[in-house]
Every structure is written in C-alpha cells, then in structure tokens.
A and B are shown apart, each in its own frame.
Chain A
Amino acid sequence: MPISERVKRLRQESLDAPATLSAERGELITEFYTTLNTAYSAPVTRALAFRYLLDHKKVWIGDGELIVGERGPQPKATPTFPEICCHSLEDLDILDTREKIPFKVSEAVREAFRDRLIPFWSGKTMRDMLFAEMTDEWKAAYEAGVFTEFMEQRAPGHTVLDDKIYCKGFLDFKNDIARSLEKIDDLNDPRSYDKQQQLKAMSITADALIAFAARYAREAKRLAELESDPARRTELERIAEICGHVPARPPRDFWEALQYYWFVHIGVVTELNTWDSFNPGHLDQHLDGFYSQGTANGSLTEEFARELLQCFWIKFNNHPAPPKVGVTAAESGTYTDFAQINTGGVKQDGTDAVSETTFLVLDVIEEMRLLQPSSSVQLSKKNPDRFLKRASKIIDTGFGQPSIFNVDVIVQELVRQGKTVEDARAGGSSGCVEVGAFGKENYNLTGYFNMPKVLELTLYRGRDPKTGKQVGLDTGDPGAFGTFDDLMAAYKTQLRHLIDVKVRGNNVIERLWATHIPTPFLSLLIDDCIETGKDYHDGGARYNTSYIQGVGLGTLTDAFTALKYNVFDQRTTSMAEMLQALRDDFAGHDKLHLTLRDRTPKFGNDDDYADDVMRELFEAYFEAVDGRPNTKGGKYHINLLPTTVHIYFGSVVGALPDSRKAWEPLSEGVSPVQGADRHGPTAVLRSVAKMDHARTGGTLLNQKLTPGLLTTDEGTNKFVNLVRSYFRMDGHHIQFNVVDAATLRAAQENPDKYRDLIVRVAGYSDYFCDLSKALQDEIISRTEHVSY
C-alpha cells in the first residue's frame, strides 16, 4: 500500500529532527513551585502542578498532522523533570556533546538551568533525597556495579493501559472518583484524609486533561480559520471537534480512539518521566471494534485507518526517552523509550485475538520502520500460523521488530503471581520483555543485578578486586572449598546478602516516591486506585510487583561450569591456579585459557552438564528474590533482561573462569555467551528452555539469522516451526536480528552510510550507529546461525 505524501513528510520530519533538550517543562514546574503560596497535601500539590503544566505548555499542531499533542514544544524537544533529577551544567555539556545519544542544549536552555532551575532545585530533588537515604553498604554495592537503581532519575512507571478509555470518558472517571469519595467513612477510617486528598487530586488531573484537549480544540479551530486548503480545513475542523469530545467522553470512532489514547499518553509522560513512557498495550484489540464498525458503516476506509495509525506511530517517534546521565545512561543507553505495542494474543475470554486490525497494525509497523514505538507479536497456540508468518516478513526486513512473545506462558506467569486468569489474559509484555496485568498493575523494574559480579566477589571473599574495597560478605577462602557444593553455598550466601542490600534500599525508595511524589494522573488510569483512594506509588494498583532483573546468566553459568568441570571434576587445574589466572587476566596462562574456552562444556549447546548448572543458578536467583514483600502490598519477582547494562556490568567485572577476559561484556538476557553456542538454534532453544520461564516475569533471548532465510516459503515455515517449538517448551520471548556480520562491520567503519540501519539490541531495536562501540562489537559477536 503506497504511503501518502503527508505521512512520508511527517515521518521524515520526525527522523530528521535533532533531539534537543527543552526547558519548557522545567521552567513551568519551577514557576509553579516558586509561586505556590498555599500548603496542600502532596497529591493535591502534584495535581495542581500537573494542571499548571497542561494549562501553560505550548500547544503544537504540525502541518498535516491527524493525531495532535506533543510532550515538548515541538517534536523531539525533550522535557526535563528537575523535581526528580535536575541536570547540572556539567550534565548539560555532556548531553550536548557526547558522541552517542546526545541532546542539543541551546544557550537559552543553559541559561534557564543556570539562573532558575539549578538554584531552585539543587539539593531538593528526588535524586538528592534518594542518595542521601542510602546506606554505605548500599552505596558500596551500587558503586561496584553489583546493581543499578532505576528510580534515581526516572519515576516508577512500567505500566500499560488496558481497554478502559475506549468505553469511558474522563467525565466518567470523575464520576467514579466522586462515588469513591462518597463511600469514605470519615468517622471510622483512619486513612480517610489520605483518601480524600488522593481522590481530590485525581479529579483535578482529570479536569486538567480535558482542559488541555480543549486548548487543542481551540488551536485546531484557529488554524482551520486560517487554512486556505479546503481539505486540510475540513481536517482541522474535525480535529477541533474530536478534541472537544475526547477525552471528556468515550470515543465514537477509530480516529477519536487514537486521539484519546494520545492525550492520555501526553498526560502520563508530562506528569512524570515514567520508565517505559506509557503504551496502549493491545492496540489491535482495542481498535478492532472501531475499525470493523467504521468500515462496515462506510465512515472509515482501510486507507484512512492506515494513515491515522501511521500518524499515531510518528507521534511515538517524536519522543526520545528523557535524557539520562551516569549509570542510568549506561544501563539504558538509547533514545528508545520502550513503548511496546502488542499485537495478537488472546482476548480476555481466552479466544484468539488475531483480527483484520492485527494485520493492519503489522502493515503499519513494516511501513513506518521506526525506532518507536517498539512492537511485539503476542503468539498463542490459538493464533494462526499466518499471523507469525506475516510477522516473519517484517523481521526479515532486518530492523529487529517485532519481537515474539509466548502468550500461553505469559498467562501462566501472571496467574502464578496471583492475577486472575482474565486479568492475566488482558495483560501482556511491555518495556523489553516484562509482563504485567495491563491497566491494573504497578510492576516496577527496580534495578539490574550483576550475577557474575556476585561470583567474582565470592571468589575474592567479598572484596572487589577492581577497587580493593570490601563490598560483600567474606564467604570463606575459595581455596579451601573441597567440593563444588561448597562453592555454590558460598555464592548463594553472597547472593542473598547483596539482594538484601538492594531490597533494603528499595524499601526506602518506594516510600520516598509514595510520600513525596505521588502520581494522581497515572493513578486514575490504573485499577483500583480510584476504588481504594490510594496512589499508584502507594499500593493503589490491584497488583503490585517489584522486579530485580538478573543479568549475565550465560556468563555466570559458564563460569560456574568451568570451575565445576576443571577444578572439581576433571581436576585439570586447581582453584589456586585458576584464581591466579583470573588475577593475571589469563596472561601467561594460555593453555588454561584455551581449555576453558574450547574444552569445557558451555551453556547453549543442549549439554546437560552446563545446563544443569544453569538451572541451579536460576533457582538460586529465584530463591533469593521471589516472594519477598515490597512496600506496596505486593511481592518481588525475577526477570532476566539486560537492555544495555551487560556492557556496563561487564566493565566492572574482571576475568572469569569461563575464559572471559576482564571488562568484556557479559552475556545478555538468557542468551548463551556470545559465540559459545555451537550446535545451532535448536540446541540453544532447548538449553534456554531448561529454566522455568513460567516462574519469571520475563526472559529475553536474542538470535541472529542470516539474511535471505526468511525470504523463501520453506525458510519461513521452518522459522515458524522453530518459534512454535520454543514456545511448546514454555520459552517466554525470542527476537531476531536478520542482518549479516559483514554489513554490521561495514556500518561500524562507515557510519554515515548506515545511519538508518536498525538492529535488535535487547528487548528493543536501535540505530546501530547510535550504539556504543562495545555494544556494536557485542552484537557482531552474537552467533549467527549460518546454516539456517
């Protein structure tokens, strides 16, 4: 289907716009707090701040746009959130000049920071509060790279919208809030004041969004009056009408549904810099009714529905992730903000959800070929193969999208965590690979956890060999371990201790957010915050999960396997010689290095020797984390994904017994160590399926395929077989890069010629040339299954 001139232009404008730092939001929020001269409760203060932002931020309608509303004053102008993390002038210099993921900072923006933002916020941000409350033990582990902290410069988000806005307007939500207020027992309920304040705050934010849409309606009307092209004038008049209708009232058609979601999206990403921005979840399911109704009654053509979706896609691409600095930039070095649109899967009643709209959305993914939004295929055994085959054709175009998820195991995961089966089916995956009950859950990724670092600390009795600092426990002299089980026991003790340190920190951080920066707008969108009168940050959601994301399972497994095989079983070396070789980074230990590299079982080859070690390490991590209580009435669970943190984590870990040299990247997700899998994809998938994915909240598996393999029907069928087989074994997720190593090397050498080359990184796609050199090398080294 040809792409309209309008969409081509808007897409190109989005691609060409440089990412800039905008001071608009920072200035407005500072003005609000500076001029605030009445004392309000925290939620009401935040609600008024939200209203102030929406009342004063620039209204921007691009030429030819069908979906309107920008987060910043124009596309790619990226706001800051100084109440959370106020960038220093030095940060601004780094953002402006860094080679990868820069944000251009104008002199005016610099001045705003220097003269107004920094003087007001310095020392008073969430980031300042958070680090001030962390213990020395926490800081030592954080600085050593044992774990990262997600909430130190971005807000807890990690949630996705369900179907509620397609049948309810914000006036309906206001009615719900009013009813909940009426039900409060202000005589006997000790929390009645808190609830009243929270609900009042939600109501203020509902009005604020309706008023914001009205500003867009006025602007559209104004532009319509000035417009000379009659076709565009009609469009602008229609946009004005839509913005006067949604979000106040439920959408009546396809266009209104998309515009409504987009206003909600702008609201969420303006209130706070939530992780994973926000996303509509099962977009094809939400739109299917509007699409079939519109095409049936003649008010909507397939062509126009497609154009609307394309315009909607471009809006996501206009929003780079808010600028990150320090460890957070290292763990998530990308412009992508992880909005992951789900397609397919099952409906709430468990039936096949693949529809005509699903295929329309897949077409748009292929036609737009944009970094954002990210997209996924939710594959159930109930879905037809033609759905997966259509997706494979997009994967074959080589931009890493869509990724493929196993709905049947996601439902198992969510039900195991305590969701009803209906809520589980209406859930899905978001961000990279994490699962949640859409519209009903606060599922926070609290930080990455460096599992190989824990082994290293165990081998050095808790002392970090990089710095000489005592970071963990002294779990005994490894030279004195008589058996592999002794080593494993020491590791488990070290692991539990360091998870304790992380959780103690989280207990404080979760309360800091709940107490100081509640989020009334997001709360009104997520069940059951309205019913309970509680904030999203304070346990108001129906389900509340805290994840700690384990990183480096492949590296960890191979390191343990190497110790078991060579030190304890075959006795080809001693623990003393091994430790010396690690200290020497294998210099002068060539034979040992080769033995460890080429003559030692490795994870990813369907070899039970290594895979059984993986299972034990998986269980150890699960035991250390799963089921602990969080502060929101929910529990901790695990998932295994890295974004880009395996590079940073690798940079703090010295040589390891699997033959990995010091500071090299760790393995990513649940994938085998780069290049260690030598028996093809069926062996990799079998190895990886030996862990119990159903007890995680998401695992990430990367595979690379040679170009051309998906171009034939026969190849596509075998691809389908491979994915279906992995999912029969209860694998959670798989994603493919279809680009050959030669192309990637060429792009590394001549980045200017390959600016548009998009590759799958880890749960998201990114421009290859925007990746760090280390990450580029790492992607090149991921095993390419040439035979396929």
Chain B
Amino acid sequence: MTTGTIFDIKRFAIHDGPGVRTTVFLKGCPLSCWACHNPEGQLAKPDLFVRSERCNLCRDCLEICRLGAISLDGGELVLAREKCDSCGSCAEVCLPGALEMAGREVTVAEVMKEIEKDVLYYDESGGGVTFSGGEPLSQPEFLQILLGECEKSSISTAVDTSGHFPNHLVETVQPLVDLFLYDLKLIDEGRHWSFAGMSNGPVIENLRLLAQLDAAVIIRFPLLSGVNDDGDNIEQLGQLLASLPVSYPVDILPYHRIGRDKYSRLGRIYRMGDTDPPSEDKVAAAAQALVGFGLDVSVKGEAYANQ
C-alpha cells in the first residue's frame, strides 16, 4: 500500500483554483523560501508544533518521551529538537494541544476518502482537488497515484508547485493534471539562491517544458516587499513569461504575515521579520508592469482592471 506524508487536508479551499476545492498539503520541499507561509511543509518528516502558552503543566509529555527531548523550564515548555525523532507520542497525550504534530503518514485510500467527500461541491462549482505543500512533486510516486485515482473518479486536479522538481517528472505528471498553479518568485539566479536556498534553474526549465506541452498553467507571483517587488525582477518575470510559447495568466499574491507564528512554534527564525505587506500602489505598479508585457493579470484571483 502506497503511503505519503501530508500535513493537512483543507476542505472548501476557494483560493487554490477554480470552484470549490479540497487542498491536500504534501510534506517536503527542496526550497526554504524566507516568506514560506507553510514552514511545516518544508521538511519531509513530520514536525512538532510547540505552543507553550497552551501547556497546563501536567507533565504527561515528559513522562512519555523516550528520548528525554522535552523539558519544563520555569513553566515554559521546551523541546530539544535535535533529540526529537517526531514519533508523536507526546502530542498524543497532550490534551490541551501545546504539542501538536504537523505531518502524518497516510495511505492513498485515506486521502481519496477525504477528497471524495466533497465531489458534489466540485460538480456543482467546477472545482476539484488541489495538491499543494510543501512541494507536492517531492513525493512523486504518491502524487502520481493520487492523480491517477482522481482521474478514475472524474475529479478535476490542480497542482500548486514551486516548480523545483526533476524535469523528467513533467512528462509523467502533466497528463494527469488539469491545472498547474506555478509559483515564480525571483528570476535572477543569484537572488533566488539567497532567498530560497536553491537554484531556480529547474523552476524556469520546467515551466518552459510545460509550456511546450501546452499545459494549463496559472502563474502565481507572491509579491514580497523588499524581496522581489523591484522593477528589475518584475521586468525579468515579464520577459520570461512573454518568451513562452503560451501566454499564461499571472495572479499576484501580495505578501501577508499569516505564517509568521508558525515559525516560533517550530523553533525557527522568520527571516521576513517585520516586513510589511506591499502597499496598494506597489501591487498596482507590479500589475501594471506585467500588463505591459501583454499578460493577463489578476490580484488575489480578481482580474486586474487596467488603468
């Protein structure tokens, strides 16, 4: 039985493609973008969220942890992550939810059961399932089986990807996917390295391959203040998209801080710090610049009115 690791299934997801959708979040991502709002999706193995403010000092977790990874420091719940093997037994006994697992191993059948619950809504709305993450293509075999099962059940599929995956997967996965939601953040190789920790070579190459196959793609451009909202990057993005054999629509997603709290729960540093969301003017300027490349531009899914 094929299994994979997911960290959430969200029903009535209405910002991840057309219609009413269910989004399945697959764990693991080769990138480590500063602004990632699902940092619990980055590691392949399950993570542990720690919320000390919920702790009722019952000490059940201290007793159950075989590795001695948990301690109470003056009422503060502390997890020594280097000792933790993510077995999940502490979260199991933590009734107030101060320790919560992010990520669990599931079978294809389990995932399909959840997906199929909302078929009627998909039918009514022209929706379907979206595989997101993490990077869903970091679990290619699991993803392909899920996509195949969806095809059998006539459920429309979308894949929300960072574009960073081995290029041979394009040909195998593309026929099973009705829509790619394709993230593009930085076009300059060096800047991408410093922001995401990896080259963007595969991202750009895979996009070209998808375009050659005439795959359905919506480009998602997260607009990150001080990171990629400068004229140079937007210019390069416009040029790249204009050079493709197919003209793909671009959806601008202005930066928000919703994911920030998760970093402290995971014991990580949020490198975006106190960065503000981009101003409306910045968003409009980016949209306007991209319109200049003849692109079909939207902001958070709403068509951008050319001014």
CA separation between A682 and B14, bound complex, in Å? 11
Asked if A9 is at the interface of the complex by the 8 Å CB criterion, the answer is: no
**Which of B10, B11, B125 has a CB less than 8 Å from the CB of A718?**
B125
Query: Which of chain B's residues have a CB closer than 8 A to the CB of A591?
Result: 58, 95
- For the complex formed, measure the closest distance between the CB of A597 and the CB atoms of chain B, giving whole angstroms: 9
| Segment from B80-88, B113-121, B196-204 that makes contact with A | B113-121
Determine the residue in chain B with the shortest Cβ distance to A689. B120
Determine the residue in chain A with the shortest Cβ distance to B97. A598
- For the complex formed, measure the closest distance between the CB of A403 and the CB atoms of chain B, giving whole angstroms: 20
Indicate the member of A591, A683, A713, A714 with the most B CB atoms within 10 Å: A714
Query: Which of chain A's residues have a CB closer than 8 A to the CB of B97?
Result: 598
A721 touches B19 (CB 8 A): yes
B95 touches A729 (CB 8 A): no
Asked if A746 is at the interface of the complex by the 8 Å CB criterion, the answer is: no
Q: Mark A432-468, 1 if CB is under 8 A from B, else 0.
A: 0000000000000000000000000000000000000
Asked if A8 is at the interface of the complex by the 8 Å CB criterion, the answer is: no
Q: Mark A687-719, 1 if CB is under 8 A from B, else 0.
A: 000000000000000000000000011110110
B125 touches A785 (CB 8 A): no
CA separation between A787 and B10, bound complex, in Å? 10
Given contact pairs A598-B95, A712-B302, A718-B125, A725 touches B120 in the complex (Cβ within 8 A):
yes
Indicate the member of B58, B120, B121 with the most A CB atoms within 10 Å: B121
Asked if A63 is at the interface of the complex by the 8 Å CB criterion, the answer is: no
Given contact pairs A725-B120, A725-B121, A725-B124, A682 touches B12 in the complex (Cβ within 8 A):
yes
B10 touches A606 (CB 8 A): no
CA separation between A721 and B302, bound complex, in Å? 18
Asked if A590 is at the interface of the complex by the 8 Å CB criterion, the answer is: yes
A787 touches B12 (CB 8 A): yes
A680 touches B12 (CB 8 A): yes
CA separation between A787 and B141, bound complex, in Å? 30
Asked if A179 is at the interface of the complex by the 8 Å CB criterion, the answer is: no
**Which of B11, B56, B301 has a CB less than 8 Å from the CB of A590?**
B56
CA separation between A680 and B14, bound complex, in Å? 11
**Which of A599, A686, A714 has a CB less than 8 Å from the CB of B117?**
A686
A599 touches B95 (CB 8 A): yes
B14 touches A724 (CB 8 A): no
Determine the residue in chain B with the shortest Cβ distance to A590. B56
A788 touches B14 (CB 8 A): yes
Asked if B13 is at the interface of the complex by the 8 Å CB criterion, the answer is: yes
CA separation between A718 and B12, bound complex, in Å? 9
- For the complex formed, measure the closest distance between the CB of B206 and the CB atoms of chain A, giving whole angstroms: 28
CA separation between A725 and B123, bound complex, in Å? 9
- For the complex formed, measure the closest distance between the CB of B306 and the CB atoms of chain A, giving whole angstroms: 17
List CB contacts (< 8 Å) of A242-262 with chain B.
Answer: none
Query: Which of chain A's residues have a CB closer than 8 A to the CB of B127?
Result: 721
Query: Which of chain A's residues have a CB closer than 8 A to the CB of B13?
Result: 787
The A interface is mostly helix, strand or loop, or mixed, namely: helix
Query: Which of chain A's residues have a CB closer than 8 A to the CB of B124?
Result: 721, 724-725, 728
A785 touches B12 (CB 8 A): yes
Asked if A774 is at the interface of the complex by the 8 Å CB criterion, the answer is: no
Asked if A722 is at the interface of the complex by the 8 Å CB criterion, the answer is: yes
- For the complex formed, measure the closest distance between the CB of A610 and the CB atoms of chain B, giving whole angstroms: 14
- For the complex formed, measure the closest distance between the CB of B283 and the CB atoms of chain A, giving whole angstroms: 16
B19 touches A594 (CB 8 A): no
B125 touches A682 (CB 8 A): no
CA separation between A571 and B44, bound complex, in Å? 35
CA separation between A785 and B97, bound complex, in Å? 21
Q: Mark B48-70, 1 if CB is under 8 A from A, else 0.
A: 00000000101000000000000
Determine the residue in chain B with the shortest Cβ distance to A686. B117
Asked if A595 is at the interface of the complex by the 8 Å CB criterion, the answer is: yes
Query: Which of chain A's residues have a CB closer than 8 A to the CB of B10?
Result: 680, 787
Asked if B20 is at the interface of the complex by the 8 Å CB criterion, the answer is: yes
A718 touches B95 (CB 8 A): no
Count of A interface residues, CB-CB < 8 Å: 28
Determine the residue in chain B with the shortest Cβ distance to A785. B12
Query: Which of chain B's residues have a CB closer than 8 A to the CB of A683?
Result: 11-12, 117
A722 touches B117 (CB 8 A): no
Q: Mark A770-788, 1 if CB is under 8 A from B, else 0.
A: 0000000000000001011
A729 touches B120 (CB 8 A): yes
Asked if B190 is at the interface of the complex by the 8 Å CB criterion, the answer is: no
Given contact pairs A679-B11, A682-B20, A788-B14, A728 touches B95 in the complex (Cβ within 8 A):
no
**Which of B95, B117, B125, B302 has a CB less than 8 Å from the CB of A595?**
B95
Asked if A681 is at the interface of the complex by the 8 Å CB criterion, the answer is: yes
B20 touches A718 (CB 8 A): yes
- For the complex formed, measure the closest distance between the CB of B38 and the CB atoms of chain A, giving whole angstroms: 14
List CB contacts (< 8 Å) of B116-175 with chain A.
Answer: 117-118, 120-121, 124-125, 127
Determine the residue in chain B with the shortest Cβ distance to A681. B12
A594 touches B96 (CB 8 A): yes
- For the complex formed, measure the closest distance between the CB of A491 and the CB atoms of chain B, giving whole angstroms: 28
Determine the residue in chain A with the shortest Cβ distance to B12. A680
Given contact pairs A724-B124, A728-B124, A606 touches B117 in the complex (Cβ within 8 A):
yes
CA separation between A588 and B302, bound complex, in Å? 52
A714 touches B125 (CB 8 A): no
Indicate the member of B14, B56, B96 with the most A CB atoms within 10 Å: B14
CA separation between A715 and B19, bound complex, in Å? 10
List CB contacts (< 8 Å) of B97-124 with chain A.
Answer: 97, 117-118, 120-121, 124
CA separation between A715 and B301, bound complex, in Å? 10
Given contact pairs A594-B96, A682-B121, A722-B20, A788 touches B302 in the complex (Cβ within 8 A):
no
**Which of A599, A717, A721 has a CB less than 8 Å from the CB of B121?**
A721
Query: Which of chain B's residues have a CB closer than 8 A to the CB of A679?
Result: 11
List CB contacts (< 8 Å) of B1-41 with chain A.
Answer: 10-14, 19-20
B95 touches A682 (CB 8 A): no
- For the complex formed, measure the closest distance between the CB of A502 and the CB atoms of chain B, giving whole angstroms: 37
CA separation between A723 and B10, bound complex, in Å? 19
Determine the residue in chain B with the shortest Cβ distance to A599. B95
Query: Which of chain B's residues have a CB closer than 8 A to the CB of A715?
Result: 14
- For the complex formed, measure the closest distance between the CB of B16 and the CB atoms of chain A, giving whole angstroms: 11
Query: Which of chain B's residues have a CB closer than 8 A to the CB of A717?
Result: 125
Determine the residue in chain A with the shortest Cβ distance to B118. A682
Q: Mark A549-589, 1 if CB is under 8 A from B, else 0.
A: 00000000000000000000000000000000000000000
Indicate the member of A590, A682, A728, A785 with the most B CB atoms within 10 Å: A682
Name 8 A/B residue pairs within 8 A (Cβ), A-sorted: A682-B12, A712-B302, A718-B125, A721-B124, A721-B125, A728-B120, A785-B12, A787-B10
Known pairs A683-B117, A725-B125. 6 more at Cβ < 8 A? A590-B56, A682-B118, A686-B117, A714-B302, A721-B127, A729-B120
> Top 5 A-B pairs ranked by shortest CB distance?
A721-B125, A594-B95, A680-B12, A682-B12, A725-B124
